[in-house]
Structure 1
Amino acid sequence: MVLDPKGNTGAQQGRRAFVVRGLGVLAGLVVAGTSSAAANAAQDDPARATRLRAVDDEWRFCERCYGMIHVYFGLGVGRCPGASNGHSVAGYQFRLPYDVPETATAQANWRYCERCLGLFYFGYPGGGWCPAGGSHLAKGYNYVLPHDVVETPTSQAYWRFCTKCYALFYWGYPTKGSCPAGGGHEAAGYNFVIPHYS
């Protein structure tokens, strides 16, 4: 059974997965990468352009692969390693900061992959493993993700870096989603705490 990131399908996973606490330290954080096409579209909509200057709020959890997925271009699109017909999103609408300075509790070099629509770490020579084949293709903003800070009612912890595909994935369930490199994702590094709308 697939669970959504709000923990609505199981009390045990809900308690463990989403101890959602508040993150009041977002000023000065940086998050990386949405698509250039989304940025161009924002130029045609001044209200959206203003909103995107500090935060990109078009991100969701995919209940098939457990990745962080950009949904500006619509749902059911992109390449998901967990299904042939695209990502299936659920839960919170996440707000990722971008183009801000990296800090001791915020990591830069997170980017949007224009082929799979996922968020991945672009700080290594390779680009990770994309479900569309080969490496991820980085586009758009440089996202700076908060990590190792207190969870709040408008932020969610247990987001981790996968050592196999370099994607950001949700680590709060007993299973670890579907990794394009095979099997489930493997977590390493920081515990990212991602802001979202309540």
Structure 2
Amino acid sequence: MATGQPSWKWCSKCACLFFGGNAVCAAAGGVHDHLGSGTYTVSYKSDAPGQNQWKWCKKCQVLSFTGDGVGPCHAGGQHDVSGSGDYHLVQDSEGQTPWNWCNKCQGLAWQPGVCQAGGAHAFNGSGRYSICINGNPRAQANIGQDQWRWCKACQLLCYDGINSCAAGGAHISAGSGNYELTMGAPASGSTAQPGWKWCTKCYGLAYSKSASDGVCPRGGTHNHDGSADYALPSSGAPADGEQDKWAWCNQCQQLWYSGNGAGRCCQSPTGGHSKDGSGNYSLKMIPN
């Protein structure tokens, strides 16, 4: 029997539909801005060199030191490091320096940007940490986890693997409705099209029955491991509570809203999505 899953959002930058929230930035609100950042690799194996007890906060996506307690989180309360690996940072070694520990928010920052505890970061008592950038040095990168990026707004190192927008950085769902998708086989006689799946890398919804899995903004092709099979209505006028003009992009295979233009496609030579050959899909909207 088909069931509905809420919390799907439209990204105002790439126009795609994605699942999940955004990483909250302390600098003037909004999400972290990774424009201009390299991709950093942070070691997390137990035998990795350097200082451990660095943890990822699942609320703001920041890497913070937990050896002196858990610091304040701009997303509310304290950092939530449950489920995080135990990351290791090397001081004064190969890689890119100087990264510093902020003794107020416990985060790792490049410059005295906006601190989650208020004011600017305070680096008193910090060592000068080195982290691998873009896989260099490889000896340390091959035991690490990449997709960590510098936020130019708050200067912190933040994990960007939680979602990825083809227009750069994280998806922005401000102004989006809350969409509910049908999971499982469509009802008998339904015009809904099955075969739509969630990508575990970019969090977008992509059609899985094409000859190609589609190029993922995170790199490589979309990964549908663990995804439910979603069915989307694809013909006729939208019913009450539904929004049409959603289309399949024949380049990246993702679902995108075509009512505001072509959006941003990671596979297009001209930048925008293409709806050639697509049906007119309608999505159910529920109150936020």
Relative to the length of structure 1, the TM-score reads: 0.67
The question of 1:141 aligning with 2:225 is answered: no
- Aligned residue for 1:172, secondary structure, equals helix
CA distance in 2, matches of 1:55, 1:162: 23
- Aligned residue for 1:190, secondary structure, equals coil
AA at the equivalent of 1:159 = W
- Counterpart of 1:66 (choices 1, 11, 15) is 15
Shift of 1:104: 5.3
CA distance in 2, matches of 1:152, 1:118: 24
Shift of 1:151: 1.6
CA distance in 2, matches of 1:68, 1:58: 10
User: Percent identity, aligned pairs only?
Assistant: 27
Structure 1 runs of 4+ aligned residues shifted over 6 Å read: none
CA distance in 2, matches of 1:70, 1:138: 13
AA at the equivalent of 2:222 = H
AA at the equivalent of 1:66 = A
Matched residue, 2:274: 186
Shift of 1:124: 1.9
AA at the equivalent of 1:143 = Y
CA distance in 2, matches of 1:166, 1:125: 10
CA distance in 1, matches of 2:171, 2:232: 22
Matched residue, 2:22: 75
CA distance in 2, matches of 1:81, 1:132: 8
* More contact order relative to length (CA 8 Å, sep ≥ 6): 1
The question of 1:124 aligning with 2:124 is answered: no
CA distance in 2, matches of 1:129, 1:120: 10
CA distance in 2, matches of 1:152, 1:142: 22
Larger gyration radius, structure 1 or structure 2: 2
AA at the equivalent of 1:114 = T
- Counterpart of 2:176 (choices 91, 112, 118) is 91
Shift of 1:113: 0.2
- Aligned residue for 1:100, secondary structure, equals coil
Q: How many residues end up aligned between the 2 structures?
A: 143
AA at the equivalent of 2:22 = L
CA distance in 2, matches of 1:168, 1:94: 13
Shift of 1:128: 0.5
- Aligned residue for 1:176, secondary structure, equals coil
Per-residue CA deviation, residues 46-72 of structure 1 (Å, 9 max, x unaligned), is xxxxxxxx111020100000001101x
Supply the RMSD in Å over aligned alpha carbons: 1.7
CA distance in 1, matches of 2:234, 2:243: 10
Task: Could you tell me which runs of 5 or more consecutive residues in structure 2 were left unpaired when the two chains were aligned.
Answer: 24-161
Task: Could you tell me which runs of 5 or more consecutive residues in structure 1 were left unpaired when the two chains were aligned.
Answer: 1-27, 31-53
Shift of 1:88: 0.4
CA distance in 2, matches of 1:143, 1:131: 21
CA distance in 2, matches of 1:105, 1:190: 11
CA distance in 2, matches of 1:66, 1:189: 16
- Aligned residue for 2:259, secondary structure, equals coil
Per-residue CA deviation, residues 62-101 of structure 1 (Å, 9 max, x unaligned), is 0000001101xx3244110112x21001321000001123
Q: Which has the higher helix share?
A: 1
